[in-house]
Chain A
Amino acid sequence: MALKSGVCFLRLNRLNQVARLLSTSSRPEIIQNGGNNADFPGAKAPYVTEMKFLDENSYDPIPIYRVLDNDGQVIDSREEPAIDKDTLLNMYKTMVQLNQMDKVLYESQRQGRISFYMTNYGEEGIHVGSAAALSPKDLVFAQYREVGVLLYRGMTITELINQCYGNHEDPGKGRHMPVHYGSKQRNIVTISSPLATQMPQAVGAAYAYKRIPNNDRCVICYFGEGAASEGDAHAAFNFAATLECPVIMFCRNNGYAISTPTNEQYRGDGIAGRGPALGLHTVRVDGTDTLAVYRAVQHARELALDNKPVLIEAMSYRVGHHSTSDDSTAYRPLEEIQKWTQAENPIQKLRLYLESKGLWDAEAEKTYAKEARNLVVRTMQEAEKKKKPHWKEMLEDVYYDMPPHLQKQMQQMEKHLEKYKDHYPMDLFQKE
């Protein structure tokens, strides 16, 4: 959030920017104390003798870093990340696979086959761009719309779909709503519904890593711009900075929190605008540009491992509805959605980049998309047939050991089911 500089001439066409320029030109002059800082412990700042409030127009907005243009061409060749061919293809295929899974599972919820779903449309580039720049050892705390990260980490379609069905192969044992994935093996902490709670947790986990000698792991924490309004977000930014934690706070700013547009969410310069104010290394990137996200996270990881916490704000657009319980045309125009589906589509941008490098073509696209779709459909059919976990799993894992009062309740339920099992869908669940 650099104090306004003299490079405003490019934006003179907009009135508010003229106002900004004027306001900045009258920034109070430092004339006292020889320009030296005052001695107050709370801030390192000089005195001024002119009373002047600062506001959101006192600073340049943080610019949006991009590597690719809308045609998938690298704008500045010095910024093109050196990613090998296989990794690039893996990144792209993950985006397509995710997109196909979203389409099928969204439809299956509409048909009542699963209870709930949330798609990732428009944000696929954020997921794979960031995941590819991390080490598989780095710990991920996600919000819920980051499934591409999980896929890129190696979670299988089978694992994801088993979770959505809550069948006995779901490692979460069917206790959580769909899309609340987690995988110890892939260092992905189980997602929970309360927003932003994962943020200070990620900072704490990063602090634990920092204390391990020769630490080579960082923590990445994803959250939406709506979640950033929660108190936990403020706590996390402040704790990360003051306790110097190896953490990347990654904001997906997709313009909406359910129906609430960003101008009802905040009035400052987005989420990135808060980073420097709290002492975080901060960058804003084009979230539809997978390579820009990759570069940002790659550098953020280096800073984080040096115990310099980072805030990344990736700008994007939530193309799909908030969830299957939401019809987003009730609060935003169709044309707006279409613009982001077409010209600013992260999958398309990366595809054009791959095509220009001769790594992909229409034929490959057609074959892979079909394959990806078939995998999802097949997996879903299998997942559907699998039994739910044994009912006793309902009372396990509340504690490490089951306390006597819970044992008693389990026995109570057991006796009850002996008599009244006909009142319950027992055939859905695994037997002893």
Chain B
Amino acid sequence: MTTLTKKVLNIGKLFKNVDNYTKRLSSHFNYYPDSEKPVEGETSKMNMMQAINNAMDLTLKNDPSAVLFGEDVGFGGVFRCALGLQEKYGKDRVFNTPLCEQGIAGFGIGLATAGATAIAEIQFADYIFPAFDQLVNEAAKYRYRSGGQFDCGGLTVRAPCGAVGHGGLYHSQSPEAFFAHAAGLKVVVPRGPNAAKGLLLACIQERDPCIFLEPKILYRSAAEEVPVESFTLPIGKAQILREGDAATLIGWGTQVHVLLEVAQLAQEQLGANCEVIDLMSILPWDQETVFNSVKKTGRCLVAHEAPLTCGFGAELAAAIQEECFLHLEAPVRRAAGWDAPFPHVFEALYLPARARCLDDLTQLLRY
């Protein structure tokens, strides 16, 4: 087995604090910007859309084989993540495809098979399912089935995911667990601009096909200082955002900010100091960081927007009980979306927001 040495500037820096400064973005969470730079050097204030745009800009600049495509990408994309890139790099590198997700995924796999860097955009993660066959049966298994002769490691599929306040059934979904079951894929979810830039660049450079799920509610309003140069964050590594000893709170994407607020409330109201982990990579996930934390705290709450049953929290809970059984003071709890389609007018009641997570955490601490 060969070991790939990646240019990971930040590898030793997995412990990370976030500012106490927060900004109310929607009814269900406050945004906690990163307080530390992931790498040294010049920074610029970017929201998550700009950080993603910047990552793709740097890729197109440095990798002549790289192309960016999807529905409405040519004019900058419906979330503006590709803004200005077609003007800068030309229509053969940043272009619209016909409206067909299975085509976009298959086309991207082909590009990567022929050695190009393919950055495909699926307009909403809710519409990735027509591409499920291409991603799960093809992309995930390409290297394995050919005995390593062919691969599509140059493929990254970006898709906006998660709740947005009013997205209803098909503009709100978090499909990460569907893909977590597909050996061969890497699945990554950032929590803000710095993570988005570092992880997206890592996905693009990764030698395996990656699905990069971007919580769309963070695109415009989540802003922080982001290094202007290229940098990567390691795939498969979680970050501890807040250290504590009372319980481990694990989330990803927007939910990380919910848990950071819950940890703050638990400190104020219960005097409990909780550890908050941003899992960042769903597949492969950072077992070491999670197990070490739970062995220390003895209690664990996993929270995600996706429905409870067979959500990725189930995998975490099962693995934690298997590895940390003697350290657990209480059963692992899961705060998740209800086992219903994502509703429109009931969104506030559907999400595992602040109050539900705090309620679950309180019960966990009093067990």
Cβ proximity bits B179-212 to A, threshold 8 Å, 1 near / 0 not? 0000110100000000000000000000110000
Contact of A190 among B92, B111, B145, B184 (CB under 8 A): B145
- CB pair A236–B103 under 8 Å, yes or no, is yes
Contact of A405 among B98, B113, B208, B287 (CB under 8 A): B287
**B contact residues around A41 at 8 Å (CB):** none
Q: Which of B113-138 contact A (CB under 8 A)?
A: 113-116, 118, 130, 133-134, 137-138
- CB pair A399–B208 under 8 Å, yes or no, is yes
Q: How far is the CA of A242 from the CA of B137 in the complex (A)?
A: 26
How many residues from A make CB contacts under 8 Å with B? Answer: 48
**Does B42 belong to the interface (CB within 8 Å)?**
no
14 contacts between A and B (CB under 8 A): A184-B146, A197-B106, A200-B103, A201-B113, A203-B106, A204-B111, A204-B112, A208-B111, A208-B116, A235-B106, A397-B144, A398-B184, A400-B208, A401-B4
**Does B320 belong to the interface (CB within 8 Å)?**
no
Cβ proximity bits A184-215 to B, threshold 8 Å, 1 near / 0 not? 10000110101001011111111111010000
**A contact residues around B114 at 8 Å (CB):** 139, 204-206, 208-209
Nearest neighbor of B155 in chain A, beta-carbon distance: A204
**Does A183 belong to the interface (CB within 8 Å)?**
yes
- CB pair B109–A192 under 8 Å, yes or no, is no
- CB pair A172–B100 under 8 Å, yes or no, is no
| B-contacting 9-mer, from A45-53, A173-181, A379-387 | A173-181
Contact of A172 among B2, B118, B147 (CB under 8 A): B147
- CB pair A239–B143 under 8 Å, yes or no, is no
Contact of B110 among A190, A194, A204 (CB under 8 A): A204
Q: How far is the CA of A171 from the CA of B134 in the complex (A)?
A: 23
- CB pair B149–A182 under 8 Å, yes or no, is yes
- Contact A200/B102 with A205-B110, A205-B111, A398-B144 known, Cβ cut-off 8 Å: yes
B97 → chain A, closest Cβ, in Å? Answer: 6
**A contact residues around B276 at 8 Å (CB):** none
**Does A243 belong to the interface (CB within 8 Å)?**
yes
**A contact residues around B3 at 8 Å (CB):** 401
Nearest neighbor of A408 in chain B, beta-carbon distance: B287
**A contact residues around B41 at 8 Å (CB):** none
Q: How far is the CA of A197 from the CA of B108 in the complex (A)?
A: 12
Q: How far is the CA of A21 from the CA of B3 in the complex (A)?
A: 70
- Contact A199/B145 with A204-B111, A400-B207 known, Cβ cut-off 8 Å: no
Q: How far is the CA of A194 from the CA of B285 in the complex (A)?
A: 29
**B contact residues around A326 at 8 Å (CB):** none
Nearest neighbor of B207 in chain A, beta-carbon distance: A400
**Does B318 belong to the interface (CB within 8 Å)?**
no
- CB pair A208–B65 under 8 Å, yes or no, is yes
Contact of A205 among B1, B113, B145, B149 (CB under 8 A): B113
**Does B338 belong to the interface (CB within 8 Å)?**
no
**Does A268 belong to the interface (CB within 8 Å)?**
no
Tally the A-B contacts, defined by beta carbons under 8 Å. 164
- CB pair A184–B106 under 8 Å, yes or no, is no
A171 → chain B, closest Cβ, in Å? Answer: 5
**Does A262 belong to the interface (CB within 8 Å)?**
no
A365 → chain B, closest Cβ, in Å? Answer: 36
Interface residues of B (CB under 8 A from A): 1-4, 65, 67, 92-93, 95, 97-98, 100, 102-103, 105-116, 118, 130, 133-134, 137-138, 141-151, 153, 183-184, 186, 207-208, 236, 284-285, 287-288
**B contact residues around A204 at 8 Å (CB):** 106-114, 118
- CB pair A201–B138 under 8 Å, yes or no, is yes
A293 → chain B, closest Cβ, in Å? Answer: 24
Nearest neighbor of A407 in chain B, beta-carbon distance: B1
Known: A190-B145, A208-B111, A399-B143. 6 other contacts (CB 8 A): A175-B144, A184-B149, A204-B109, A204-B111, A239-B100, A401-B3
**Does A403 belong to the interface (CB within 8 Å)?**
yes
- CB pair B146–A182 under 8 Å, yes or no, is yes
**B contact residues around A173 at 8 Å (CB):** 147-148
- CB pair B137–A194 under 8 Å, yes or no, is yes
B115 → chain A, closest Cβ, in Å? Answer: 6
**B contact residues around A175 at 8 Å (CB):** 144-145, 147
Contact of B100 among A208, A235, A401 (CB under 8 A): A235
**Does A402 belong to the interface (CB within 8 Å)?**
yes
Q: How far is the CA of A194 from the CA of B100 in the complex (A)?
A: 18
- CB pair A192–B134 under 8 Å, yes or no, is no
Contact of B98 among A211, A235, A397 (CB under 8 A): A235
Nearest neighbor of A241 in chain B, beta-carbon distance: B98
**A contact residues around B106 at 8 Å (CB):** 197, 199-201, 203-204, 232, 235-236
A380 → chain B, closest Cβ, in Å? Answer: 21
- CB pair A399–B184 under 8 Å, yes or no, is yes
Q: How far is the CA of A242 from the CA of B142 in the complex (A)?
A: 26
- CB pair A192–B141 under 8 Å, yes or no, is yes
Q: How far is the CA of A209 from the CA of B184 in the complex (A)?
A: 26
B2 → chain A, closest Cβ, in Å? Answer: 7
**B contact residues around A209 at 8 Å (CB):** 114
**A contact residues around B284 at 8 Å (CB):** 399, 403-406
Q: How far is the CA of A34 from the CA of B236 in the complex (A)?
A: 66
- CB pair A183–B138 under 8 Å, yes or no, is no
- CB pair A200–B110 under 8 Å, yes or no, is yes
**A contact residues around B149 at 8 Å (CB):** 171-172, 182-184, 190
A205 → chain B, closest Cβ, in Å? Answer: 4
**A contact residues around B95 at 8 Å (CB):** 243
- CB pair B98–A242 under 8 Å, yes or no, is yes
